[in-house]
């Protein structure tokens, strides 16, 4: 009888873990979508910001990667941990018709009733409300912008970020 009780405890723990992982997914995916849309508005050109896979191959053709822009697509939903998302930024050249696309990996972590976002291998914005509106993400947009701009100002930082898999480029 004692064994059945212990198994029941394990089953309950497994069920709670599964429910928490699904909740994590249901909260972070819409937040990521809001950040993609809001960061385009922040830059003044929503056509230049798009979601891409956080690791591996990607393109800058504006395709919608849907769920594949989140690590849960590749790693599975059943995980109570950081969820990563790739944020693509297409930067048009000023001297010709080309562009350079930058992928910055955003890592989201739920912390009680708030969440944090780590930008690339740089800073982290903490204490954001789970029900935040796009306008509430200005500190995140500021950090993404500063991080991307800093990569061009300090190329050595780029190589460190590239080695860690937190950033990537595509010329066009």
pLDDT digits (tens, 9 = 90+) for 95-118: 888 888 999 999 999 988 899 999
What pLDDT score does 155 carry?
Answer: 67
pTM here is 0.85
pLDDT tens, position by position, 124-135: 999 999 988 888
Beta bridge partners of 103: 88, 168
pLDDT on residue 14? 87
Q: What is the DSSP string of the chain?
A: -HHHHHHHHHHHHHHHHHHHHHHHHHHHHHHHHHHHHHHHHHHT-GGGEEEE-SSS----S----GGGGBHHHHH-S---S-EEEEEEEEEE-SSSS-EEEEEEEEEEEEETTEEEEEETTS-EEEEEETT--GGGGHHHHHHHHHHHHHHHH-HHHHHHHHHTTSEEEEE-
How many Å apart are CA 81 and CA 13, to the nearest integer? Answer: 16
Of the candidates 139, 36, 158, the one whose C-alpha atom is nearest the C-alpha of residue 86 is: 36
- Which residue ranges of the chain lie beneath pLDDT 50? 1
Non-local (6+) Cβ contacts of 164 within 8 A are: 121
CA distances from 73 to 30, 43, 120 (A): 14, 28, 19
- Say how many C-beta atoms besides its own lie within 10 A of residue 153's C-beta: 9
pLDDT at 60: 84
């Amino acid at each position: 009888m004692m064994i059945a009780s212990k198994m029941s405890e394990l089953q309950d723990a497994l069920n709670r873990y599964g429910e928490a992982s699904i909740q994590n997914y249901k909260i972070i995916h819409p937040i990521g979508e809001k950040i993609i849309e809001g960061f385009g508005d922040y830059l003044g050109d929503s056509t230049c910001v798009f979601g891409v896979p956080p690791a591996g191959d990607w393109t800058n053709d504006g395709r919608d990667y849907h769920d594949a822009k989140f690590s849960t697509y590749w790693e599975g939903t059943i995980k109570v941990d950081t969820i990563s998302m790739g944020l693509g930024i297409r930067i048009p050249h000023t001297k010709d018709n080309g562009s350079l696309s930058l992928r910055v990996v955003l890592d989201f972590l739920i912390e009680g009733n708030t969440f944090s976002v780590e930008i690339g291998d740089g800073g982290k914005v903490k204490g954001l409300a789970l029900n935040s509106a796009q306008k509430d993400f200005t500190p995140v947009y500021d950090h993404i912008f500063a991080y991307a701009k800093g990569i061009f100002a300090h190329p050595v930082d780029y190589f460190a970020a590239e080695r860690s898999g937190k950033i990537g480029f595509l010329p066009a």
